[in-house]
Amino acid sequence: MPHPAPTRLRMRRRDPRMVHPVAWWVWGVGLAAAAAHTTNPALLFMVVAVAGWVVIERREVGALDTFGPFLLIGLAAIALRVLMTVVLGNGIRGEIVIVHLPEVRLPDWLAGLRLGGSVSLESVVAAATEGLRLAATLVCIGAANALASPRRLLRYAPATLYDVGTAVVVALTFAPQLVELAGRVLAARRLRGHSGRGVRELARLVVPVLEGALDRSLDLAASMESRGYGRTPVRDRRDRVIGSTLAVAGAVGTTAGLYGVLAASDRGWLGLPTLAVGLVLLVASLVLGARRDARTAYRRDPWRAPEWAACALGLLPAVVLLRGESAGWPGITVAQVPLSWPPLPVPAVAAIALAGLVAWVTPVPPRLAAVRSRTAAGAPAPLLPEAA
C-alpha cells in the first residue's frame, strides 16, 4: 500500500501511523468510566456520539468494526431494562401513570416487586437511563476494540502473563469467530431452503457454530504452540514465583479498583486507591517480567505525544465526572422524581467534548489516510484488487 504523497490536505498534521493500542484502550476505558458515573441522558448521548465519531475518524481500513455490534447490544440492554421495569417495576413510585396492567398479587416477602400493576413514567425513564448508561459504557469498550484490536494490545502484554496469554488470545478470537461463523452457517442454512429467521432456526445454529468456533480455537492454540509461544528460557524458580505473584496480585488489584471506579456506587473514591496499588504491582511485575522476556519486538508502535494526549483526553472526563459525582454537582446523578430536565453541568460537557479532540491530535492510520487522499483527489473509490 503506497503511502500518499504529501498533499495540501487539511488533515495532514503528521504522517499517518498507527496509534499505540494501549493509548486507545486507556482513552476508551476512561470514557467508559465517565459514562458509568452519570445518569444524565444528555451526557450519555454525548459520550456515545464522541465514541462513534472517533471510530469513524480513526478506525483503520480492514479493522473489525466492533462499534456497531456493541451498540446493538447496548440497545438491547436498554430495551430489556425497560421491559423488566414495565412488568416487574423497579421500586420507583412515580406520579405520572402511563398505563395500568392487570396486577398479580405477590406474597408480602417479595416487597418492592410487583407483577403488572400501574406503570409510571418516572420508573420507565429511570430504567431507560440506567440502560443507556450501560449502553454508553459498552459502546466505549466497542470503540476501543475497533480502534485497536485486542490482539494488537496483547503484543504488549508482559512476559509474566504468558500462561494467561494463550487463554486470552483464544478467548478473544472466539467471540468474533462465533459472529463470523454464525453468518456463514446462516448462509448455508439458506442453501438448504431455510429462511434463517425465527427462534427455532437460531437454536439450530447453536451446535454447528459452537463446534466450529471451538475447533478453530483449538487450531489456533496448536498454532501458537508450534510457533514457539511461551518459550521461556529456564530461569531461577524464585524469580518466576515472585513475578507471577506480583502479576496476579496486580491484576486482581487493578480489576477490583476498576470495578470500584466503574461500578457507579457512592464509594467511587474507594476504588481509586485500590486501582493505584494494583497498577503499581502490575508495573512491578512488568519490570520483573521484562527481564526474563526472551521475545524481541518487531516495529513496536512508538509512544509519543499523541499517545500521551489520547490517555489524558480519555482520563479527563473520567476524573471530572467522578469528582462531580462525589461533590454532588447538579445534573450528574439525576433524580427521576419529580421528573424534569436535568441541568447540564458545564465542566462535564466540556470534558466529554474534549475527549473527542483525540480524533485531531492522533495521526490517521496509514491505509485510511491513503484511501482518503485518493478519494479527496477525485479518484474513484479505491478498488483493492481482490478478496474472494
Partner 1 sequence: MIELVNVSVTYAGATVPAITGADLRIEEGELVLVVGPTGSGKSTLLRCLNGLVPHFSGGTLHGTVRIGGRDTREHRPRDLADLVGFVVQDPLSAFVTDTVEDEIAYGMEALGVGPAAMRRRLEETLDLMGLADLRDRTLRELSGGQQQRVAIGAVLAAGPRILVLDEPTSALDPVAAEEVLGALTRLVHDLGLTVVVAEHRLERVIHHADRVILVEGGRVSALLDPAAAMTHSPVHPPVVELGRRLGWSPLPLSVREARRHARELRVRIGATPPGTHHRPSQQRPLDRAVGQDRAIPQQAVGARLERLTVRRGLVRAVHDVSLTLYVGSVTAVMGRNGAGKSSLLGAIAGQLPASAGRVEVTGEDPTRLAPRHRCRRVGLVPQDPDLLLYADSVAAECRAADSDFGVPEGTTRAILDRIAGPLDIAQHPRDLSEGQRLALALSVILAGRPTVLLLDEPTRGLDYPAKRRLVAILRELAADGQAVVLATHDVELVAEVADRVIVLADGEVVTDGPTRTVLTGSPAFAPQVAKIFHPLALLTVADVVRALEPAS
Residues that bind partner 1 (CB under 8 A): 1, 61-64, 149, 151-152, 155, 169, 184-185, 187-196, 204, 207-208, 212, 215-216, 219-231, 294-299, 366-367, 371, 381-388
Q: How far is the CB of 60 from partner 1 (least distance, A)?
A: 8
Q: How far is the CB of 381 from partner 1 (least distance, A)?
A: 7
Alpha-carbon gap, residue 92 to 247, rounded angstroms? 43
Q: Kindly report the CA angle at 42 between 45 and 36, in degrees rounded to 5?
A: 65
Q: How far is the CB of 152 from partner 1 (least distance, A)?
A: 7
Nearer to partner 1, 14 or 155 (CB): 155
Nearer to partner 1, 327 or 383 (CB): 383
Query: β-strands 97-104, 115-120: how paired?
Result: antiparallel
Alpha-carbon gap, residue 41 to 130, rounded angstroms? 9
CA distances from 33 to 74, 96, 105, 334, 348 (A): 16, 32, 40, 17, 13
Q: What is the DSSP string of 299-311?
A: SPPP--HHHHHHH
CA pseudo-torsion sign 366, 371, 373, 376 = negative
Nearer to partner 1, 199 or 388 (CB): 388
Alpha-carbon gap, residue 228 to 368, rounded angstroms? 33
Nearer to partner 1, 166 or 333 (CB): 166
Q: Dihedral of the CA atoms 243, 244, 247, 251 (nearest 10)?
A: -170
Q: How far is the CB of 32 from partner 1 (least distance, A)?
A: 23
91 sits in the region (left: phi over 0; alpha: psi -120 to 50; else beta) called: left
Nearer to partner 1, 189 or 323 (CB): 189
Rounded to 10°, the helix 67-88/121-147 angle is 160
Residue with cell 438448504: 192
Nearer to partner 1, 1 or 96 (CB): 1
Eight-class DSSP state of 77: H
Q: How far is the CB of 299 from partner 1 (least distance, A)?
A: 7
Nearer to partner 1, 103 or 225 (CB): 225
Q: How far is the CB of 149 from partner 1 (least distance, A)?
A: 5
Count Cβ atoms below 10 Å from residue 113 Cβ, excluding itself: 12
Nearer to partner 1, 22 or 97 (CB): 22
Alpha-carbon gap, residue 32 to 262, rounded angstroms? 8
Q: How far is the CB of 63 from partner 1 (least distance, A)?
A: 7
Q: How far is the CB of 362 from partner 1 (least distance, A)?
A: 18
